[in-house]
């Protein structure tokens, strides 16, 4: 991602150069190797796991087996102006359900 040196708007890649849609400023596009990661930035967004489930647990009754504990996570499945949906995964049978499925 590049930002315009003149107006600060986000630029778009077009035929080997960056082009600002707001003011028309252009500059050559460098190769991916020319970008550096500073100490304040992370080189990767991948989080390594120990193999165990790292999701938080909560009290929730599984509709399949009746177990009273489940892992949960939130996911955006509709448009951005809608709230996220909470999903549960049973700690015993691994049945998966949504919060509004009850």
Binding residues for Zn(2+): 4, 7, 20, 23, 62, 65, 90, 93
Please give the annotated binding residues, written as ranges: 4, 7, 20, 23, 62, 65, 90, 93
What single string gives the DSSP state of each residue in 65-92?
A: T--SEEEEEEE--S-TTSPPEEEEEETT
Residue 59, both tokens: 């009290």
Q: How far apart are CA 17 and CA 11, in angstroms?
A: 10
Residue 58, both tokens: 């909560």
């Amino acid at each position: 991602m590049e930002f315009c040196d003149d107006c600060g708007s986000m630029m778009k890649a077009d035929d080997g150069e960056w082009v600002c849609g707001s003011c028309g400023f252009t500059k050559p596009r460098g190769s991916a190797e020319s970008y550096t990661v500073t100490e304040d930035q992370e080189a990767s967004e991948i989080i390594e796991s120990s193999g165990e489930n790292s999701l938080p647990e909560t009290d929730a009754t599984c509709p399949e087996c009746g177990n009273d504990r489940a892992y949960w996570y939130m996911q955006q499945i509709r448009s951005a102006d809608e709230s996220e949906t909470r999903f549960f995964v049973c700690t015993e049978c691994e049945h998966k359900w949504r919060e509004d499925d009850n």
